[in-house]
Structure 1
Amino acid sequence: MTEVRVRAMTPPEFATWRRAVDESYALAQVEAGVWAADEAVELARTGNDALMPDGQDTDGMLFLTGTRPDGTPVGVAWLGLTHPRGAPGCAFLYDFEIFEAHRGVGYGRALLALAERTARDRGATGLELNVFGDNEPAIRLYETAGYTVVTQQMRKPLS
């Protein structure tokens, strides 16, 4: 397995990530047909503000950076130690990304394993996440890492 280490995001990393996560979540919601483009970034920002009212210092939220052994950042993970809908003992992976230049060589699998271990070390007995249906690489990663579908939302255009 590709070697990855995990550490807390630095404040500058958090600030950069926070802007990016709002924008990428907004774009994903627009592409999925859930939100209108003109309001998407504000909706994402408002939702994320509610989840992390104290920013990087929000209790129960971990903001992690995965690095190569030489310290080069390869990806990030946002881990909530309690489930947003109250599933007992289940942590929640809100955001997970391997930076584009580092994809396809095993960093995703390694960082995911570290996020799982971090949740388990803090008492979680399960880890849940959401993935958009068109994100085939992520779906394959999660399936091969042992994740199974627990809920599924479907849509049919009525034209």
Structure 2
Amino acid sequence: MIAQQVILRKMTPAEYGAATEHREAESVRVLSKVLPEEVARERVQHGTARFLPDGLDTPGHHLLMAENEAGEAVGNAWVGPDPNQASGSASSAWLYDINVFRPFRRLGYGSAILAAAEELIASEGKTALGLNVVGDNEAAIALYRRNGYEVASMSLRKRI
């Protein structure tokens, strides 16, 4: 596979709206496996309000579009402060969301977006990028492993 390259840029307000709608719908879909849908929706919307109180202009957060060499939008990402570290002293950042648009999946753009996000946070003095991934998202897990990510903690669940 040819190594893809992307350029990251700040989302426009319309792109932010579409990305938020997509992220929230996906999060509700996942959480609805273990919570009633209404509770899942409230939890997801509360999370957006908590982490992005100023939306697109929330300080410390990067809400990014990824464009390929032809200038096509191939995906997006949200990178911000690591919620597991005290603000101001954090040496790591957090990948809250990454999305490769359907026509560009399985072409190397996920790795390209990760590499560009890593370069961005490194330029800010961060030394690590953390993230969460849903346990049954095999494609995402494979992407992260291919790109050198390791399990830092694990939470398991069994329905009884």
The TM-score normalised by the length of structure 1 is 0.93
TM-aligned CA deviation for residue 50 of structure 1:
0.5
Letter in 2 for 1:121: S
Query: Residue in 1 aligned with 2:66?
Result: 66
**Superimposed CA distance per residue, residues 70-110 of structure 1 (whole angstroms, 9 cap, x where no aligned partner):** 22111010001x21021630100000110111100111111
In structure 2, the partner of 1:52 is 52
How many residues align structurally? 155
Q: Quote the offset at 1:23 in angstroms.
A: 1.3
SS in structure 2 at match of 1:19: helix
**1:63 Cα deviation (Å)?**
0.4
Deviation at 1:12, TM superposition (A): 1.0
- 2:83 maps to what in 1? 84
State the distance in 1 between where 2:149 and 2:139 align: 14
User: Do structure 1's residue 114 and structure 2's residue 116 form an aligned pair?
Assistant: yes
For 1:29 and 1:92, how far apart are their aligned partners in 2? 20
Partner of 1:153: 155
- State the shift of 1:2 in Å: 1.2
Could you tell me the percent identity over the aligned residues? 37
Instruction: Give the 4+ runs in structure 1 shifted more than 6 A.
Output: none
CA RMSD, Structure 1 to Structure 2 (Å): 1.2
Question: Aligned partners of 2:158 and 2:28: how far apart in 1?
Answer: 21
Please give the alpha-carbon distance, in whole angstroms, between the structure 1 residues aligned to 2:17 and 2:38: 23
Q: In the alignment, does 2:136 pair up with 1:134?
A: yes
Secondary structure at the counterpart of residue 9 of structure 2: strand
Distance in 2, matches of 1:139 and 1:55, equals 28
SS at the partner of 1:124? coil
Query: What is the CA-CA distance between 1:38 and the residue it aligns to?
Result: 2.2
**C-alpha distance after superposition, 1:38-61 (max 9, x if no partner):** 222222011111001000110010
* Counterpart in the other structure of 2:37: 37
State the one-letter code of the partner of 1:76: N
Contiguous gaps of at least 5 residues in structure 1:
none
Quote the Cα distance in structure 1 between the aligned partners of 2:67 and 2:42: 31
Deviations 1:2-51 (A, max 9, x none): 122111111110111112211111111123x2x21122222201111100
Q: Deviations over 1:105-148 (max 9, x none)?
A: 11111111001111111111100000001011110110111111
Number of the residue aligned with 2:5: 3
Point out the more displaced range, 14-23 or 53-62.
14-23
User: Please, what TM-score do these two structures have when normalized by structure 2?
Assistant: 0.92
